[in-house]
């Protein structure tokens, strides 16, 4: 069962606005406990979503957006008292996120620029609540395009055969990428987006950003996992092609799916035409998934996601 209610539109980025995300074993009284706690502290709930996988023995998921004057000064108090009065009682995994702070996003890309340029454009236009301090590519081709947005571009060569993992399980290129992200001006990286980055990341690298690496795969997973899906789709004569945005895990193209979309095709479409059509879908799917993550609308349930979009 899913429930959504809206008192008035949320105001992402406004001082005093925050988001509470929580998941716990389902039981009676959760919504009342959370709402009662917020009411006691003078909070105005502006947006509330709930979902239960099964009212008997299932998991409960909640996202609440609220406004509280003087939030920054009272944040530590809210965190401490919510854990004591509500979260510990209901065995919650939770986080409370001030909406004013934009998440910092690093983009990894290879040669294809369509997904990258779409993200740069949307962030530059203010459509996404994010900062992009750097773009990293295993090819130098896109430097001028990226720098035209005022974003730092770094070329980190990744051989076809990756360097052997070192002591921490990272290849030399991965160590360099992490060094760049750790030292990005303005603070740590919150999210890594693979905008058609055509190299496989090691489990050790992925572990540094749990549920914080989003990939766009150019097929409707689980169909055509791995490399060259458009060619395999054409050979199979499919009538739909699509794209999938998912969190990256240690298993290739197996992470929790955030968003998908498809477009109808026919026997008349050549391979190059499928790729052109597919890139439009890739841009749209990736931008929606990234925006939902930035707005704290995604909760992971095992190998699935709950998306309060």
Do 234 and 184 belong to one domain? Answer: yes
Q: For residue 300, what pLDDT is reported?
A: 96
Strand partners for 106: 134, 192
Q: Over the stretch 238-269, which tens digit does the pLDDT of each residue have?
A: 888 889 999 999 888 889 999 999 989 888 88
Do 189 and 246 belong to one domain? Answer: yes
Residue ranges of alpha helices (H) inside 167-249 are 172-182, 203-207, 229-236
Do 188 and 43 belong to one domain? Answer: no
Higher pLDDT, 169 or 296: 296
At which of 42, 67, 98 does a domain end? Answer: 98
pTM of the entire predicted model: 0.89
Do 121 and 186 belong to one domain? Answer: yes
Q: What is the mean pLDDT of residues 112-119?
A: 97
Do 142 and 93 belong to one domain? Answer: no
- Residue 50's CB is within 10 A of a number of other CB atoms, namely 20
Are 102 and 296 spatial neighbours (Cβ–Cβ below 8 Å)? no
- Domain holding 49: CATH number? 3.30.70.260
Binned at pLDDT 50, 70 and 90, residue 6 comes out as very low
Q: Residue 28's Cα: distance from chain center in Å? A: 31
Total domains in the fold of the chain = 2
Token reading at 168: 């921490």
At which of 43, 66, 98 does a domain end? Answer: 98
Is residue 14 left, alpha or beta, with left meaning phi > 0 and alpha meaning psi from -120 to 50? beta
d(CA 72, CA 67): 11
Q: Over the stretch 179-188, which tens digit does the pLDDT of each residue have?
A: 999 999 899 9
Structural domain including 185 reads: 103-307
Binned at pLDDT 50, 70 and 90, residue 169 comes out as confident
Cα 26 to Cα 5, 48, 237, distances in angstroms: 19, 17, 45
Do 117 and 260 belong to one domain? Answer: yes
CA angle 94, 79, 73 (to 5 degrees): 140
* Residue the block writes with tokens 């841009």: 283
Q: For residue 133, what pLDDT is reported?
A: 97
- Total residues belonging to the chain: 309
Do 108 and 94 belong to one domain? Answer: no
Do 211 and 301 belong to one domain? Answer: yes
Does position 10 have pLDDT exceeding 70, yes or no?
no
- Domain holding 212: CATH number? 3.40.50.170
Q: For residue 240, what pLDDT is reported?
A: 83
- Tell me the catalytic residues: 253
Do 107 and 164 belong to one domain? Answer: yes
Do 56 and 142 belong to one domain? Answer: no
Do 125 and 233 belong to one domain? Answer: yes
Strand partners for 193: 107, 214
Does position 84 have pLDDT exceeding 90, yes or no?
yes
Q: Over the stretch 27-51, which tens digit does the pLDDT of each residue have?
A: 999 999 999 999 999 999 999 999 9
Q: For residue 1, what pLDDT is reported?
A: 47
* Residue the block writes with tokens 């009284």: 29
At which of 39, 71, 98 does a domain end? Answer: 98
């Amino acid at each position: 069962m899913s429930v959504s209610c809206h008192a008035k539109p949320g105001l992402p980025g406004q001082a005093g606005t925050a988001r509470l995300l929580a998941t716990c074993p389902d039981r009676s009284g959760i919504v009342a406990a959370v709402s009662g706690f917020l009411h006691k502290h003078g909070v105005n709930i502006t947006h509330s979503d709930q979902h239960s996988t099964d009212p008997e023995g299932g998991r409960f998921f909640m996202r609440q957006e609220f406004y509280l004057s003087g939030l920054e000064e009272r944040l530590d108090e809210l965190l401490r008292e919510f854990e004591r009065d509500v979260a510990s009682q209901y065995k919650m995994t939770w986080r409370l996120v001030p909406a004013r702070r934009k998440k910092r996003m690093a983009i990894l890309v290879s040669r294809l620029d369509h997904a990258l340029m779409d993200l740069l454009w949307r962030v530059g236009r203010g459509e996404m609540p994010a900062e992009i301090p750097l773009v990293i590519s295993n090819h130098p081709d896109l430097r001028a395009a990226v720098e035209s947005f005022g974003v730092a571009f770094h070329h980190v060569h990744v051989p076809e055969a990756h360097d052997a993992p070192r002591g921490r399980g990272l290849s030399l290129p991965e160590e360099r990428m992490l060094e760049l992200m750790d030292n990005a001006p303005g603070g740590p990286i919150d999210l890594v987006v693979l905008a058609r980055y055509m190299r496989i990341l090691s489990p050790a690298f992925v572990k540094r950003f749990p549920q914080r690496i989003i990939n766009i795969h150019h097929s409707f997973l689980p169909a055509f996992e791995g490399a060259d899906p458009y060619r395999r789709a054409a050979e199979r004569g499919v009538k739909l092609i699509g794209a999938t945005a998912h969190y990256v895990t240690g298993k290739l193209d197996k992470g929790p799916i955030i968003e998908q979309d498809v477009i109808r095709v026919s026997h008349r479409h050549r391979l190059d035409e499928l790729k052109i059509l597919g890139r439009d879908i890739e841009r749209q799917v990736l931008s929606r998934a990234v925006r939902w993550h930035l707005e704290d609308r995604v909760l992971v349930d095992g190998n699935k996601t709950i998306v309060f979009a």
